Chains A and B, each alone.
Chain A
Amino acid sequence: MKDEIHNTIEAEKEVLSALPLKTKKNKTLYLTKVQELKKKYKNFLSDIAIEIVKRSKKIKNIEENSEISIINARLKELEENMILINKNLSSFEKMGLDKITYGLIYYYKENLNKINKNILKAINIFNNCGIELTAAHFDYSHYTYDYMLVFFKVIYDLKSDLLRQSFEKIFWKCPDLIVHLDLNIRYLYLENKNEIDKYFSDKKKEFLLKEKMSEEEVFTEYYGLIKTRNALVDCDQSTIIKSFIDHKYSINDYSSINVKNNFAKLIIDNEYYTQNEEVTDENIVKLEHSLIEYQDYLSFRYVIDDIIKKYKEKDTYKNILNIKLKEISKQEDILRKMNLKIYKLKSSKKDNKKIIESLLNETDPILLDLKNRYAELDVAIINDKVYNLLNNDSTYHDILSVACSNYNYLTRCIKDHEKDITEDDIKTKVYKLKSFINNPYNTIINNININDNRNIILTIVDRYKLLNINITEENLEERNLENYIASVHIAVMYLNIVTSHINIEDVDFVLKALPII
């Protein structure tokens, strides 16, 4: 039919070119003819478009495998409770207070609304743990108390002018207001630590009882489900088609000649491949996992190095955390006594303005000292984790899990490595590190010990060369790695397309139909 139409069009063009156009009558007749043809072909074009839309819809409307969303829902349910069984997290971190206090200091001077949101978040988290906070709990300094009195009054409208005005008024007297609020929240945690620990311990028991599983079994189910979900997504027809539509992949890479050339480059012995296709294909998939893991390892090698550096000094960390906590508690007792004195003077009917001013001035150096001590405490917390959670049998995976358990440490480590990094990029990096740690296909980082100095590149190259895969140390050099991963990914994607039973011509049709529909 296509050829017939082509011939008709060519014939019609010839007829048109032969028509005379000398007189007005000629031209009118010519125009009438052309208009007729235009109308006819416009109708025809519309019919073709309808047919194209019908066909592409049939391909595009393939639904995602329903099992994927069922697994995702279960994973979400497990993820929400994974913190309860994470042995690396203190209750401070389980509450997310490490992130909140970091946010308070970061948004200091930048965004009052975000500061208030963080304070509210902290209040709600304490509330969830059964500790109902009021303004009276924020008596770390007179400034925190005055601010929080207004805060609780307008708690349902944190953008209110009243709160903003209160902030501005106090800020000029005490530019360290946010620092005091940060210290106050940390103090409230330490004051209620036993109760909070119990809350999380009870929640953990409740969760394991409900699931009728041990902690080990939860982890096994979690990582097993990630693998199952990923396998389904990788070979899901709807996901694959969407990836091409979204230009994530180029259809040209999957033409039979390009696929053949790509595999020829990846395989050492093609004859062996023909005889052992299934196993080699599985190894290509494994290779991609190893390459991605290695790439992630390179991205976070500085974190591993930093923790290993700490580990080498671990003997100096013994008891430091307890000493720091005791020192803080002692200073806070002094501060509280002074604050109480000021409150009493404030409540008195006498004019104590001068004495109050003088006492307030005396609290300033104590608060500054506490600020420094809490900063030292942050360092002591991560060092204590290194001391207690890591040993000579610990792997790189253990190291990264410890680093990831404390937001304050991790963000500091990232900032030390990349001085000009933005806060959004830090968030992305933290997310990437968490995904890296939870990657169920890791085989490198969970098999290298803290004192192991093996050559990872050589290990990967030796492993896959034995499996008939063409890989060199040069491929794994940082400047070449991305390109090598891309070519391996094309091979893996091709295997997924084959497994999904998608016809690549159908995908090509949808892509070509896109500008039409």
Chain B
Amino acid sequence: MSEDLTTISNEDIIVLYNEVNEYIKFLEDEIANVDIDGDSK
């Protein structure tokens, strides 16, 4: 995934950073919301 980073434009790399960051937050929320022993939240 990282191989092409040098070719991406300044504008796109910021957009990419924000999108990946948001996705990580989404994944973290998913982890927090799964209750292994109980009902799924």
A190 within 8 A of B: no
Q: How far is the CA of A506 from the CA of B26 in the complex (A)?
A: 30
Interface of B is mostly: helix
**A34: which of B12, B13, B30 is its contact (CB, 8 Å)?**
B30
Q: How far is the CA of A9 from the CA of B15 in the complex (A)?
A: 14
What is the chain B residue whose CB lies nearest that of A16?
B30
Chain B contact-residue range equals 20 to 34
Please tell me which stretch of A321-329, A442-450, A509-517 contacts chain B, meaning at least 4 of its Cβ atoms lie within 8 angstroms of it. A509-517
A27 within 8 A of B: yes
Q: Is the CB of B8 within 8 A of A2?
A: yes
Q: Which residues of chain B have C-beta atoms less than 8 A from A505's C-beta?
A: 10-11
Task: Find residues 3-37 in chain B having any chain A CB closer than 8 Å to their own CB.
Answer: 4-8, 10-17, 19-21, 23-24, 26-28, 30-31, 34-37
A6 within 8 A of B: yes
Task: Find residues 439-459 in chain A having any chain B CB closer than 8 Å to their own CB.
Answer: none
Task: Find residues 5-34 in chain A having any chain B CB closer than 8 Å to their own CB.
Answer: 5-6, 9, 13, 16, 21-22, 24, 27-28, 30-31, 34
**B27: which of A27, A37, A47 is its contact (CB, 8 Å)?**
A37
A30 with B34, Cβ < 8 A, contacts A9-B23, A44-B2, A48-B20 known: yes
CB distance from A508 to the nearest CB of B (A): 8
Chain A contact-residue range equals 35 or more
Q: Is the CB of A45 within 8 A of B17?
A: yes
Among B7, B12, B15, B34, chain A packs the most CB atoms within 10 A around the CB of: B34
Q: Is the CB of B17 within 8 A of A516?
A: yes
Q: How far is the CA of A13 from the CA of B6 in the complex (A)?
A: 26
A1 within 8 A of B: yes
Among B2, B13, B21, B35, chain A packs the most CB atoms within 10 A around the CB of: B13
CB distance from A49 to the nearest CB of B (A): 7
Report 10 cross-chain contacts, Cβ distance below 8 Å, ordered by A residue: A1-B7, A2-B12, A2-B19, A5-B19, A9-B20, A45-B24, A49-B17, A51-B5, A51-B6, A516-B17
Give 9 nearest A-B pairs by CB, closest first: A509-B10, A47-B2, A2-B12, A38-B27, A21-B40, A51-B5, A1-B4, A512-B14, A48-B17
Given contacts A48-B13, A505-B11, 5 further A-B contacts (CB under 8 A): A5-B16, A31-B31, A31-B34, A41-B24, A51-B5
